[in-house]
């Protein structure tokens, strides 16, 4: 008797699941793969992603902060410029990480590393892959947010225990961007099109009240900025960092919850376009 011709009990087990053509409830295998790959080769990339906002904080917060002095915080209290921009930088880094993971990374693994091609020839469905990759992006976001919050603490920029809520809030922000990013990637065919993603992200980073308050803009620009997701992320984390909660806090959280739901609907609807040709 040979190994290849007996009962096939193992694959029968997999075969008897009935969860449609797109999902086999095995996203954990994709997550396991991601963790193993990180362990053996990707950890340098992880490290650079952690340092980016830290470097921004040091140069802008400490350097620029020496010129700017103190500014009005979310509750109107005087805070240092570094304390003012640190939550904003955390929101930006949550956005960047999630968008990178769900667009460029997915695009590359799809079209060049052919990683998903291999996965999709197994029992995995596209939804397993999407859930697994989004989970990994959020896990990475969680690690970065924790590290950055620790740096803020070391720099004396944290004054309330409420600030720890910035960590789960960052994951919420990352989830909003990641769920949308993957759906958007399904429309992309070339690297040139992928550049549009950066074209949208950079102005959002610069103008979403990241480095100065929204009030510097004329009213109609303010409305435009307030429609953008990053502004809600910046404001949310800034409020949390100072424990200055208002009804607007709920609106910011609500904005992301809606974004997550819509993003997941888009991505789920586009799974076949994304992974199956």
Partner 1 sequence: MPELHSAEGTSKKPVSAHETGPEKHKEPAAPQYVITAENLTKTYGDVIAVDGISFSVPAGESFGLLGPNGAGKSTTMKMIGGVSQRTSGNLTIMGLDPEQNGPEVRAHLGVVPQQDNLDEELKVRDNLLVYGRYFGLPMSYLKPKADELLEFAQLTDKAKAKVDALSGGMKRRLTIARSLINEPRILLLDEPTTGLDPQARHILWDRLFRLKEQGVTLILTTHYMDEAEQLCDRLIVVDKGRIMAEGSPAALIRDYSTREVLELRFGSERNASIGAELEGIGERLETLPDRVLIYTHDGEAALEEVSARGLRPLTSLVRRSSLEDVFLRLTGRSLVD
8-state DSSP, 22: T
Task: State how far the Cα of 236 lies from the Cα of 249, in Å rounded to an integer.
Answer: 6
CB of 105 to partner 1, least distance (A): 12
Length of the chain: 277
Give the nearer residue to partner 1 in terms of CB position, either 4 or 216. 4
Q: Is 119 in the site for partner 1 (CB under 8 A)?
A: yes
71 CA to centre of own chain? 28
Task: State how far the Cα of 194 lies from the Cα of 201, in Å rounded to an integer.
Answer: 12
The β-bridge partners of 71 are 79
Q: Is 26 in the site for partner 1 (CB under 8 A)?
A: yes
CB of 114 to partner 1, least distance (A): 4
Give the nearer residue to partner 1 in terms of CB position, either 108 or 223. 108
8-state DSSP, 74: T
CB of 252 to partner 1, least distance (A): 37
- Least Cα distance to 231 among 210, 217, 251 occurs for 210
Which range of residues in 39-47, 135-143, 163-171, 208-216 is near partner 1 by CB under 8 A?
Answer: 39-47
Site string for partner 1, 79-118 (x = CB under 8 A): ----------------------------------xxx-xx
Residues 6+ apart with CB under 8 A from 273: 186, 187
Interface residues with partner 1 (CB under 8 A)?
1-19, 21-24, 26, 29-30, 32-33, 36-37, 40-42, 113-115, 117-125, 272, 275-277
């Amino acid at each position: 008797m040979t190994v290849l011709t007996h009962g096939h009990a193992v694959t029968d087990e997999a075969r008897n699941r009935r969860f449609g053509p797109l999902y086999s409830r095995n996203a954990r295998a994709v997550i396991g793969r991601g963790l193993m790959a990180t362990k053996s080769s990707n950890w340098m990339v992880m490290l650079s992603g952690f340092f980016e906002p830290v470097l921004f904080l040091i140069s802008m917060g400490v350097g620029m902060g020496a010129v700017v002095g103190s500014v009005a915080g979310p509750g109107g209290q005087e805070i240092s410029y570094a304390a003012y921009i640190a939550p904003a930088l955390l929101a930006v880094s949550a956005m960047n990480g999630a968008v990178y993971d769900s667009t460029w990374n997915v695009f590359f693994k799809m079209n060049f590393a052919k990683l998903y091609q291999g996965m999709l020839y197994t029992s995995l469905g596209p939804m397993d892959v999407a859930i697994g990759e989004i989970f990994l992006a959020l896990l990475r976001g969680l690690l970065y947010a924790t590290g950055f919050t620790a740096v803020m603490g070391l720099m004396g920029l944290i004054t309330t225990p409420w600030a720890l809520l910035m960590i789960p809030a960052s994951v919420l922000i990352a989830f909003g961007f990641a769920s949308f990013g993957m759906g958007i990637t399904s429309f992309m065919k070339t690297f040139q099109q992928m550049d549009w993603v950066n074209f949208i992200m950079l102005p959002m980073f610069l103008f979403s009240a990241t480095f100065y308050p929204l009030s510097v803009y004329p009213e109609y620009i303010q409305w435009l900025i307030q429609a953008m997701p990053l502004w809600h992320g910046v404001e949310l984390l800034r409020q949390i960092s100072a424990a200055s909660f208002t009804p607007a806090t709920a609106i910011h959280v609500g904005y992301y919850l809606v974004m997550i739901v819509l993003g997941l609907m888009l991505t789920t609807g586009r799974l076949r376009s994304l992974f199956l040709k």
